[in-house]
Structures are given as C-alpha cells and as structure tokens.
Amino acid sequence: MNHSLLMAILLLSPFVGFLINGARYRKNGPNLAGWLATTAIAISFICSILLVADLIGMPAESRRIAVSFFDWIVIDKLKVAAGFVVDPISAIMILVITGVGTLIHMFSIGYMHHDKGVAKYFAYLNLFVFNMLILVLGDSLLTMFVGWEGVGLCSYLLIGFWFTDKDKAAAGMKAFITNRIGDAAFLLGMFILFMTYGTLNFFDLNQLAPTVPEASWLGAATLGTLMLFIGATGKSAQIPLYVWLPDAMAGPTPVSALIHAATMVTAGVYMIVRLNAMFIAAPNTLMIIAVIGAATAVMAASIGMTQWDIKKVLAYSTVSQLGYMFLAAGVGAFGVAMFHLMTHAFFKALMFLGSGSVIHAMHEEQDIRKMGALKKYMPITHITFFFGWLAIIGMPPFAGFFSKDEILWKAMTSPLGHPLLWAAGVLGAVMTAFYMTRLMALTFWGKSRVPKEVHPHESPALMTIPLIVLGLLSIVGGWLGINHAISSILPGHPANVLEHWLGPVLREPSLDGVHHSVTMEWALMGVSVGLAALSAFVAYHFYVRSPETPKKIAESLGPVYRLISKKYLVDELYFGVIINPLIAFSKNLWHHVDVQVIDKTTYLLADLMKGGGSVVRTLQTGNMQQYAMYIGLGLVAVLSFVLMR
C-alpha cells in the first residue's frame, strides 16, 4: 500500500475518532463511544504493523520511510515541512503507542461504564494518541514540539477529567504548569541548535553533529542538548520536575496506564535517542543525564516503599523506572534505553490496569491497607499482576530482567559509565523488589482486611482480556533483547534482535579496545538478581508472615521514615522557597506598581484631560449672542494691537 496513504490513516484515524466523540460529548453511552475510539486506535495499529513490515523488508542501512505532506513553515533559512518518518526508532514507538493504546481503550470501556461524559473521555484519549503519534513520527524538533504540547494539553484534560473535585482539578493544573517550565527550556534548546546548525530536522542535526565531543560547557551542542534535557525532565518526570506525576494519579486509572506508563512520560527518553548523535557530541550533558537518572531512580523508589495508595506506589515506580531509562541514555546506551522503554510499557501498563481492576472490584478503594487476600476473588487480575511483578523486579526470564540488567551492565562498562552509577542502579533495583513485593503482599496475599460491606469480584472480560495480553508481553517482551552472556548458552545462540534493529541508526560511544569478560557479565547479573530476590523475600516475610515487623522498623527509624513518607517534603520546599515567595512578590509588585503607580498615573492623566475638556467645553455653549461677544472682543484686541504698533 502507498506509504503516504498509510501514514495519513495512521495519524488521522484517532483524530477522526476525537472529532466524532467530541461532537457527541454529552452522550453517556460507553459502548458506542468506547468501541468507536478503540476501533480508531486499532486502525492505527494495523497501519503501524504494515509500515513496520515494509521497513523490515528494506536493507538495514536504509530503513527509513519518509513522507512529506506539504511545506509548513518557510521563512528565510527556516524551512519546516509537515514531514513524518518511520525508522527503527519510531517503529518501536508507534507499535507501543497504538498496540498498548488499543488495549487500554478496550479496558476503559468496562472501567468507565458508569461514568458521566464518557464520550468526552474517549475523545480526549483519541486526541492524546493523535498528538503522541505526531510527537514520535515528526521529522523535526518543531513538528515534535507540536505533539509535545498536544500531549501536555491532553494530559491536563485527562488528569483533571473529574474536575468538579478541586483536588483532581488542581492535579491537572499542576501537571500542566510543571510541564510548561520544561517546555520553555525545550524552546531554548531548539533556538540554540537552529542558530548553530541552521536546521531543526532530526536527520540533518545528527549528520551535522560534531564528530569530536565538546569539552566545553558553552559549546552549542552542549547548551542545546542540556536545554532539551531540561524539557525532558518535565515531560518524563525527572528531578527536579517529577512532582507532577504522582499527583497525576487523580485521573481515571486507564489514563495512568496510557499516559504515565506507555506513552507521554517516555517522550523525553525518545527525544534523546532520536538526537543520539548530537547528545554523544555533548558528554557533559550525558553525564548530567546519567546522574539525574540514577538519583531519580533511587529517590522515587525509596518514596514508593512508604506509600499506601496503590496508584501512588505505581506512580513512584514509574518515576523510578524512567530514571533507569535516562541512566541508560546518559551512559550512551541509547538502544538499551529504548529496550527498557518498551518492556516498561508492557509491565507497567499491565500493573496500572491491574490496579484499576482492583479499584473497580473494591468500589473505588485505593488504600492497600484495606485489601489483602484478593487473589481468591480476582484470579485473572492476580496472575497477570503477578507476571507484571516478576517483570518489574527483574526476575528471569520476564521482560524487565533483560532490559534492567542490560542497563546495569552498560552503567558499569560503558566508557561513559561509572561503578557508582551501577551501584545506584542496583540499589534502586533492590528497593523496587521490596516495595513491589510489599504491594503484591498487601493487595493479593496474606489475610483479608477488606471491609465487610465491600464484596470484591473479578472484572468483566473487557477488562481482563487486555490484562492477559499485557501479561504475556511482560513474559516474552524481553526476549527481543537477550544479552550476549545468556545467548551464548542457549541453543542456536539467539541474536539480540533489538541491538541489530537499532544499531544502524544509533551513534553510541566507541568500544574500540575495550573488552569485558563474560564472567564479569554473569557476576554482575548474579549480584543484581540475587539482591533483588533477597529483597523480595524479606518483603514477603514482613508483610505476609510477620506484619508487625514493618511497623516496628518504621517506628525505630522515626524522623527518617516520616521524611521519606512525606516524599522528602519536596512539594513543601517548592512552595516555601519558590511558589509562595513568588506569589507574595507578585502581589507586592501589583500593589506598589500597578495600583500605586500605573493606576494612579492613569487616573491623574484622565482627571487632567477631563478638567481641561471641561474648560474648553465652556467655549462651546451654542449661544449666538455669546459667540458675537467673543468675536467683538477679538476684533477689539486685534485693532488695539494694530494701533499700538
């Protein structure tokens, strides 16, 4: 089929779904709205498969389907087309977005069945997918930025979907404003790169990237990529702009699965991988990315160990797992970052939807202290969530094991890596195993703490079928990236499919002369898996066999535990140091400048004009006799002046 037609259908199908459901936004029928929206995404998924199939048939060095619909902006040197590209990088993204997106739309039909305004909800979901596809398929930074802003708008609409609740509306605004801070830096990065290289096209920028890495912090590549990374910290919830994502759980649970697991929050990682050659030319920027990624992974994981809201635990888990992706990108392992992006989309979307199934069964209860022993009431949800749990804690042969351990391997052995980065990654993995086992134990295992008036039940097929599909992907998804050590002992020595797929389009640090033994790889793998397994066993013992022990440990830690449970008081710090002083300064500025100077000056000028007008007005009375007198007085004055001369 014609590539231009396939690309157009891929992009426009969800937009048409948005228009149809948007026009009937007051309708409450979930089935029609839901199946319409799901069909729209499924059509895009089919188009994605066809495009990727054509891509696979091309020679490895020229796998690129580029479509330009029209010239969008032509101003002097700035020439931007409405161009879209499918290559090995964007191919992974469109399959994840449309494939996982279709499952989430299907799940939403059952989950949102009793909600008001469901047509509006599905319209927003379709619009979100449309903008996400623009983001990942756009062939330039400016086209990407259109989708970048579009998904920001849609996340605001979906997070604050239940806007009659002030807290939920505030969460939507928090996400929107925090992302705008990052977006300002993204714009600066675009300006710097365009001023230096004269283009915003991804392919051209990668071709023009310096071949010798910049040592200076003031180099164009360094400054430009650093600004772009700040934009990524907003969109992908990294320190210091991660604070919006945990609050974003205020939206419907399928929204969390779509936006905060499989799509929008991975946009920052995708952008860095897309501009891999430019980032390789800026090692100082990569160092910051790696450090921020590692710090975020550890910090978010530690907070996840103290949360009681099932969605908040998963939210901090998402922030932590995104930290691993940035850690991989920061050490130049761009292919591994994409690998973990893909596997995380499978198991985290599964776990968010699984939490939605639990919340649905528990009549909107989200506190895991009021759950327990749900596996006997919800067998399908339990077994699929179990698969997701094994994947995220990195147990072989589940998907998360392969991508997580490859990140740790690269953090240690890459020329841009460091043992401290590896240690931080292992620490994050150990904490992840603990708090995810804690979540499993308190939700599905142990004794029931379910209130008597609540009667848990398994979710309908519309909700369990997506869980089953994502559960299977959480098992086999990592097999596309089997590392060399494991491959060497398997029959037939299966190749690392993703490494071969992405290799031709990625520029990674040179490994010439650098060799690491297979023994070392097995040793590092054994350490990370062994410690994670031990951590999971300890958590199981604490929360199933000895539930009083965690309380005693928390009490013994005292202020340390309280600090972590209050999320390190980061929100309070932001309010105390930045937000409240800024509000106070703005109010003072308004009072002393707007009211006292500008307003009073304009009022004074207005009074002067009004007074002057009143004086002049007395000359225009309409009285003919008065006018005659003025004329006479004028003649007398003129004659007197003449005679005096």
Task: Give residue limits of the domains in the chain.
Answer: 140-565, 571-644
**Residue-level pLDDT at 511:** 67
Average pLDDT, the chain: 92
Give the tens place of pLDDT for each residue, 617-634.
776 777 788 788 888 888
Strands 65-75 and 78-86: antiparallel
DSSP string, 533-562: HHHHHHHHIIIII-THHHHHHHHHHTHHHH
- Cα distance between residue 304 and residue 301, in whole Å: 5
Burial class (CB in 10 A: 0-12, 13-18, 19+), 136: buried
Query: Tens digit of pLDDT for each residue in 311-347?
Result: 999 999 999 999 999 999 999 999 999 999 999 999 9
Please answer whether residues 193 and 200 qualify as being in contact, where contact means their C-beta atoms are separated by less than 8 angstroms.
Answer: yes
Residue 554 pLDDT > 70, yes or no?
A: yes
Cα 374 from Cα 361, distance rounded (Å): 9
Choice among 112-121, 442-451, 471-480 with the minimum mean pLDDT: 112-121
CA–CA separation, 382 and 476 (whole Å): 19
Question: Among residues of the chain, what percentage have pLDDT more than 90?
Answer: 75
- The secondary structure of residue 165, as a DSSP letter, is S
| pLDDT given at position 488 | 84
What's the pLDDT at 532?
Answer: 96
> Quick one: DSSP state of residue 398?
S
pLDDT, residue 114, reads 80
pLDDT, tens digit, 9 for 90 and up, residues 174-205 = 999 999 999 999 999 999 999 999 999 999 99
3-34, pLDDT tens digit by residue? 999 999 999 999 999 999 998 877 767 788 99
The model's confidence at residue 1, banded by pLDDT at 50, 70 and 90, is: low
Look at residue 626 in the predicted model and tell me its pLDDT: 79
3-class DSSP state of 471: helix
Helices (H), 81-200: 88-111, 118-137, 141-159, 166-197
Residue ranges of alpha helices (H) inside 305-418 are 310-330, 334-361, 379-392, 399-413
Amino acid present at 455: H
Structure confidence by residue, pLDDT tens digits, 375-432: 999 999 999 999 999 999 999 999 999 999 999 999 999 999 999 999 999 999 999 9
pLDDT at 28 (0 to 100): 67
pLDDT at residue 348, as a whole number: 94
Inform me whether the pLDDT recorded for 443 exceeds 70: yes
| Composition of the chain by helix, strand, coil, percent to 5 | 75, 5, 20
pLDDT (0 to 100) of residue 251: 87
pLDDT in tens, 135-159: 999 999 999 999 999 999 999 999 9
Per-residue pLDDT of 478-536, as tens digits, reads: 999 998 888 888 887 788 899 999 999 998 887 665 667 888 999 999 999 999 999 99
- The SS3 of residue 438 is helix
pLDDT of 586: 93
pTM for the predicted model, two decimal places: 0.91
The backbone torsions φ and ψ at residue 86, rounded to the nearest 5 degrees and listed phi first, read -110, 115
Quick one: pLDDT at residue 299?
96
Residues 235-259, mean pLDDT to the nearest whole number = 91
Could you read off the pLDDT of 220-234 as tens digits, one per residue?
999 999 999 999 999
Question: In 3D, which of 360, 76, 257, 141 has the Cα closest to residue 149?
Answer: 141
Instruction: List C-alpha distances in Å: 75 to 92, 377, 386.
Output: 33, 63, 55
In angstroms, the CA 499 to CA 261 distance is: 23
